[in-house]
Structure 1
Amino acid sequence: MGTTGYRELAGILREAIQQGQYTPGATLPKQEELASQYDVNVKTVRTAVALLEAEGLVTPIRRRGTVVRQRPPMRRLGVDRYSKQKWKFGDVVAFAADREASGRAWKPTDQTQTVAQVEADPEIAEAFGVEPGSPVYERARLVTDDGQPTHTLTSYYLPEHVENTPLVDPTPGPAGRGGGFAVLTLQGLEPDHMTESFHSRMPTPDEIAQLDLPAGEPVMILQRRTYTADGTLVEVARGVHAASRFSWTYSFDIPD
């Protein structure tokens, strides 16, 4: 195969993973063994494995070796995750709706949170129509799935909308029954419509550490604005999602 055959070797290993020869949680043979089996040098193996790692198929684990990723991506629902049937008339917040759609168990403590009053940065200030530096509440959450971080979500609110409500209580988990949207509804600020936008980028060092990302994995960035029926902006949210841990699913009516 020669020393330039890392792409071919990566293709062989990729196919073996996809066909179940190496099952989720299994460890690939040692690099020296792969080099001998495919008549290449160890550098070629190392480069091929790095390519698979960048694709999110394998993860290096200390003292174990190169391990095939354990779980399929979680479904992240689109508009369905915000259904009022879930949070207004039930007790299923958005991240839990994703878990249920993916057939996975969840518990409230899968979501941690830190709440603080901070100064609005230019983007948050522009969204709410206030001066930069004005006080806003920041509610930062880290969400895990069976102990593995999946994403962060940080929401911003005007103090007059959420003061003395569960949305500024730092207790881990959703902000009470029905989560933040239910709290806003009780304040007379029922969410009615929202705008979400997404883009991808490479993570910052802090995001790599917080989400326990393998080398080369990008993140999906969510930006969400939530409004009442009369157009009052009640939440600006920013999310950072590990790209390989979600599939993004949207259902919607086709406009006329």
Structure 2
Amino acid sequence: MSATRYEETAAHLRERIKEGDYPPGTKLPSVRTLEATYDVSSGTIRAALRILEAEGLVKTVLKSGIVVRNQTSRRRLTRSSAITHDGTGYRFPAAAAVGEVWTPHGQPVASVEPVPADVAAVFGLDPGTPVVRRRRVMSPEGEDPWDVIDTWIPPRIITQAPQAGEPVTGKGGYLARIEEAGHGPISWEETARADMPTKEESDLLGISTLMPVMRILRTGLSALDGLPVECSAYAIPADRVEIHSALQRADSAAWPVTYN
């Protein structure tokens, strides 16, 4: 099947971006100029630009136009079941390399917000119920925002461990306060899926709403009653991450293999 005009236009613009004709931070020509350059309609140009937005190559900046994005290097997200503690708090499997420093963008914020449907289902609440949310925007030091982490703490836990919902949580963070309230040791489980970002997430991450994100939902479970005590939702742009897992042979696949 031959490429359509908008796919051909997107391919040519993509190549020019990758060759450095349009460096990161520069604006693409106006839609009208691109129409004349490629001898196509404005609809074709806009369709081509939507492809580039979805790929993370460009973004629309209010009052500026279509701007070429900085290309963040893709990191390998090695998933394992290992949870460690460094004396200051728990450390969960992440994309950070050994010794790599990650820093917040702005100050972490604790506030009461309407809980989204996926987290509401974890807590057994109605979507939109007011729930404490702790938000962080993180990245490797010196890089653009890499992920948004929203930690939701259900009302019953805030009643038992009110400091977990405050901006300053003390040594060990909010998880230490929850465990001290009688729910330790917390155990965790995760699910991951592809999703589209909310407008708020796309603004925080500097991506288009057309760019998919990897959404990881990590749920902490109480040792006291087995119910969820926190749920952390990670939103990571799809162009910044790949998942890596080490596979192991089960006993039935031990080598040398015996065939029936």
Question: Above 0.5 in TM-score?
Answer: yes
2:137 alignment counterpart: 144
1:168 alignment counterpart: 165
CA contact (8 A) 1:196 1:224 kept: yes
Long gaps (5+) in structure 2:
251-260
2:226 alignment counterpart: 232
Q: Are 1:114 and 2:111 matched, yes or no?
A: yes
1:44 alignment counterpart: 44
CA contact (8 A) 1:75 1:98 kept: yes
CA contact (8 A) 1:117 1:138 kept: yes
Give the secondary-structure state (helix, strand or coil) at the position aligned to 1:254.
Answer: coil
1:22-33 equivalences under 5 Å are 22-33=22-33
CA contact (8 A) 2:17 2:23 kept: yes
CA contact (8 A) 2:131 2:153 kept: yes
Q: TM-score scaled to structure 1, two decimals?
A: 0.67
CA contact (8 A) 2:83 2:91 kept: no
Instruction: Using the TM superposition, give the Cα deviation of residue 182 of structure 1 relative to its aligned residue in structure 2, in angstroms.
Output: 3.3
2:241 alignment counterpart: 247
| Residue among 200, 203, 208 paired with 2:199 | 208
Instruction: Using the TM superposition, give the Cα deviation of residue 68 of structure 1 relative to its aligned residue in structure 2, in angstroms.
Output: 1.3
Aligned length: 234
Instruction: Using the TM superposition, give the Cα deviation of residue 201 of structure 1 relative to its aligned residue in structure 2, in angstroms.
Output: 3.5
Long gaps (5+) in structure 1:
127-131
Instruction: Using the TM superposition, give the Cα deviation of residue 153 of structure 1 relative to its aligned residue in structure 2, in angstroms.
Output: 1.6
Residues 243 and 90 (structure 1), Cα distance of their counterparts in 2 relative to 1, 3 Å cut: same
Cα root mean square deviation, aligned: 4.2
- One-letter amino acid of the structure 1 residue matched with residue 152 of structure 2: S
2:121 alignment counterpart: 123
Q: What is the distance in 1 between the residues matched to 2:107 and 2:98?
A: 16
| Residue among 168, 181, 197 paired with 2:191 | 197
- One-letter amino acid of the structure 2 residue matched with residue 40 of structure 1: V
- Cα deviation per residue 1:53-109 (whole Å; 9 max; x = unaligned)? 1332211112322111225167484547974234xx2457669x6577796651485
Instruction: Using the TM superposition, give the Cα deviation of residue 161 of structure 1 relative to its aligned residue in structure 2, in angstroms.
Output: 8.2
- Cα deviation per residue 1:180-225 (whole Å; 9 max; x = unaligned)? 3333444450334x2211223445xxx3145426343344433322
Q: What is the distance in 2 between the residues matched to 1:183 and 1:196?
A: 21
Query: What is the aligned-residue identity percentage?
Result: 24
Q: TM-score scaled to structure 2, two decimals?
A: 0.66
Residues 242 and 98 (structure 1), Cα distance of their counterparts in 2 relative to 1, 3 Å cut: closer
- One-letter amino acid of the structure 1 residue matched with residue 185 of structure 2: E
